[in-house]
């Protein structure tokens, strides 16, 4: 704890909203580092990722909550439970919606979920760079009576409009508290998770629609190579798919696709860790892993 001035504020802020409203984009802008994975495909972010913003007067710990939606299978149930618990623990909730889309069932589901929650909820209307001010007014109208929002703040996470003001407003809601994390720390132990998400992102990008989001990437080992001249980190990871046919797709002709996944992921991991990386990837078939609760723990889903 480097700083414990009287009046210093700190707290946890959860970001919730339908897939693709811009939660990761916002977090990345605020933290200024690629810690949450951005993608046009929904549900790329499946676990809590914390980004820490340290300012002179406050420290904000952001939680990029997975897209909350009606559960379709066991993993969905699990995610929803994690999300609900998270929402009770935090100091503020940013409920992010897309200014270019009318209020939908997914938004209603989230609003229902917020019932019986004392945490202040901000309605953050994102992507205002894409709408006319009149449209923005009708979006606000369509939400404002649905919940007792603490604040309604329009922003553009992509272009940065009003993001500064949003941060200042959040600060006013935070309790007095210590600086939980050192100022130079932007994430709370997520290297393993980030690395697995970087690999998963590359697989999803390179396979387009052929490989569903049901894949998982498990980091088997991250180890410093002692016997090399330069600093070098060895990362061993396994890509888990559900069917043999998917295994074939991920490996590709003569291993070409897997090799490309490795090249791209290695590049990003090297940027993240700031050292040379040796990446070893395996592909494994594990049928129906999503529905096996016992396996969820192994894949890094914690309650
Ligand atoms: P998430 O699923 O809520 O985390 O959404 P992402 O952050 O992955 O963003 C989904 C898509 O919306 C990406 O293509 C982003 O570039 C885009 N996006 C996010 N914020 C904005 C914004 O303020 N304006 C515009 N025009 N696009 C945005
Ligand atoms: Mg996201
Ligand atoms: K996404």
Cα distances from 115 to residues 65, 109, 119, in angstroms, run: 18, 10, 10
For ligand 1, whether the C-beta of 25 sits within 6 Å is: yes
Ligand 1: residue of 158, 159, 204 to mutate (most ligand atoms within 8 A of CB) is 158
How many angstroms separate the alpha carbon of residue 193 from the centre of ligand 2?
14
Do residues 276 and 232 make contact, with C-beta atoms less than 8 angstroms apart? Answer: yes
Tokens 């609003």 -> residue: 111
How many angstroms separate the alpha carbon of residue 209 from the centre of ligand 1?
20
The DSSP line for 106-156 is: HHHHHHHHTTT--S-EEEEEE-GGGS-HHHHHHHHHHHHTTS--SEEEE--
- Residue 12 confidence (pLDDT): 85
ipTM for this model: 0.97
| 220 membership: H or E segment, kind and range | strand 216-224
The Cα 190–Cα 193 span in angstroms is: 5
CATH architecture of 191-298: 2-Layer Sandwich (3.30)
**pLDDT one digit per residue (tens) for the chain, 303 residues:** 444 567 889 888 988 888 889 988 898 888 865 454 444 444 333 445 457 788 889 989 887 665 465 555 555 666 676 677 678 778 999 999 999 999 998 899 889 888 878 899 999 999 999 999 999 999 999 999 999 999 999 999 999 999 999 999 999 999 987 776 666 655 544 567 778 888 988 999 999 877 877 688 888 888 777 766 667 888 999 999 988 999 999 999 999 999 999 999 999 888 777 788 999 999 999 876 555 544 444 444 432
Asked if residue 67 belongs to a known ligand binding site, the reply is yes
**Rounded-to-10 torsion of CA 195, 89, 172, 27:** 20
- Domain extents for the chain? 9-173, 191-298
- Residue 41 confidence (pLDDT): 40
Phi and psi at residue 85, to the nearest 5°: -65, -45
Pairing of strands 50-54, 58-64: antiparallel
Pairing of strands 232-241, 58-64: unpaired
How many angstroms separate the alpha carbon of residue 229 from the centre of ligand 3?
39
- Residue 288 confidence (pLDDT): 63
For ligand 1, whether the C-beta of 101 sits within 6 Å is: no
- Which pTM does this prediction carry? 0.62
How many angstroms separate the alpha carbon of residue 25 from the centre of ligand 1?
6
Cα distances from 27 to residues 34, 83, 97, in angstroms, run: 9, 17, 15
Atom of ligand 1 nearest to the CA of 27: 7
CB-count burial class (<10 Å; 0-12, 13-18, 19+) for 276? middle
- Residue 301 confidence (pLDDT): 40
CATH code linked to domain 9-173: 3.40.50.300
The Cα 180–Cα 3 span in angstroms is: 9
Which bound ligand lies closest to the C-alpha atom of 98?
1
Residue 168 CA to chain centroid, in angstroms? 22
Give the tokens for residue 85.
């618990």
Around ion ligand 3, which residues have CB less than 5 A away?
A: 39, 44
The Cα 149–Cα 172 span in angstroms is: 15
Residue 213 CA to chain centroid, in angstroms? 15
In 3D space, the residue among 120, 124, 126, 125 whose CA is nearest the CA of residue 174 turns out to be 120
Do residues 26 and 97 make contact, with C-beta atoms less than 8 angstroms apart? Answer: no
Collapsed DSSP state (helix, strand, coil) of residue 28: helix
- Residue 229 confidence (pLDDT): 67
How many angstroms separate the alpha carbon of residue 65 from the centre of ligand 1?
15
Give the tokens for residue 286.
């594990």
Alpha helices in the chain (DSSP H): 23-31, 74-89, 105-113, 133-144, 163-173, 191-207, 244-251, 256-273, 293-298
Residue 267 CA to chain centroid, in angstroms? 20
For ligand 1, whether the C-beta of 161 sits within 6 Å is: no
């Amino acid at each position: 704890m480097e700083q414990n001035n009287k009046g210093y504020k700190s707290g946890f802020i959860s970001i919730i909203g339908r897939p693709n409203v811009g939660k990761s984009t916002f977090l990345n802008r605020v933290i200024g580092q690629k810690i949450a994975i951005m993608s046009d495909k929904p549900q790329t972010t499946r676990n809590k990722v914390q980004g820490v913003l340290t300012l002179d007067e406050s420290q904000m710990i952001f939680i990029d909550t997975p897209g909350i939606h009606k559960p379709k299978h066991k993993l969905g149930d699990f995610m929803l439970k994690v999300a609900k618990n998270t929402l009770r623990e935090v100091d503020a909730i940013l409920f992010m919606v897309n200014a270019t889309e009318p209020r939908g069932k997914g938004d209603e589901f989230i609003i229902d979920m917020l019932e019986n929650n004392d945490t202040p909820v901000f309605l953050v209307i994102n992507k205002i760079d894409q709408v006319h001010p009149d449209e923005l007014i009708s979006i606000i109208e369509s939400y404002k009576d649905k919940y007792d929002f603490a604040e309604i703040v329009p922003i553009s996470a992509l272009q940065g409009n009003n993001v500064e003001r949003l941060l200042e407003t959040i600060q006013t809601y935070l309790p007095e508290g210590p600086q939980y994390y050192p100022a130079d720390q932007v994430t709370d132990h997520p290297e393993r998770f980030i690395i697995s998400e970087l690999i998963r992102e590359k697989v999803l990008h390179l396979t387009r629609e052929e490989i569903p989001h049901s894949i998982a990437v498990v980091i088997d080992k991250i180890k410093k190579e002692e016997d090399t001249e330069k600093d070098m980190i060895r990362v061993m990871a396994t890509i888990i798919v559900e069917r043999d046919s998917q295994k074939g797709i991920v490996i590709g002709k003569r291993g070409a696709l897997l090799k490309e996944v490795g090249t791209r992921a290695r590049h990003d991991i090297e940027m993240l860790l700031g050292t040379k990386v040796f990446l070893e990837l395996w592909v494994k078939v594990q049928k129906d892993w999503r529905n096996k609760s016992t396996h969820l723990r192994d894949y890094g889903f914690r309650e």
